[in-house]
Amino acid sequence: MSENARDTGGRYSRKLTEQDLLKVFDYETDAEEPMLAASEIVDALYDRFDIDVSDETVRRRLRSMEDDGTVSSKRFGARAVGWTALVAPRLDPDVAADADELADADRDEYTALNDL
């Protein structure tokens, strides 16, 4: 089975990426609720990014990411599984470049956190 996302017409639109999943964790989790079920991830992918994929596609990708150490899972009972991200999503290259430029331009105006 494919890990491609489908558009509203049922056509494959693009491949579901690890970054898509990591962004969901970034938006949908916090310290009080750090875990999501696969169905919650599916809903958030659709609601936030208009990515329509099946629960099974998400679970398959999450298991692969768990093997890579990117996410972690925990079983709750016989069938329920919660997932949490162990890393943050990568910054968009344009955002990263802008941040680097700002950091270089303002380096003398700020004190590093470690120096406080």
Choice between 8 and 52, residue whose per-residue pLDDT is larger: 52
Whether the per-residue pLDDT at 92 is higher than 90: the answer is no
Number of structural domains, the chain?
Answer: 1
38 within some domain: yes
List, for residues 37-91, the tens digit of each pLDDT value.
999 999 999 999 999 999 999 999 999 999 999 999 999 988 899 999 999 887 7
Burial class for 28, CB neighbours closer than 10 Å (0-12, 13-18, 19+): middle
Of the candidate ranges 19-28, 29-38, 99-108, the one whose mean pLDDT is the lowest: 99-108
Long-range contacts of 73-82 (CB under 8 A, 24+ apart): 74/35, 80/37, 81/37, 81/38, 82/35, 82/36, 82/37
The CATH number assigned to the domain holding 71 equals: 1.10.10.10
116 within some domain: no
Task: Quote the domain boundaries for residue 39.
Answer: 4-87
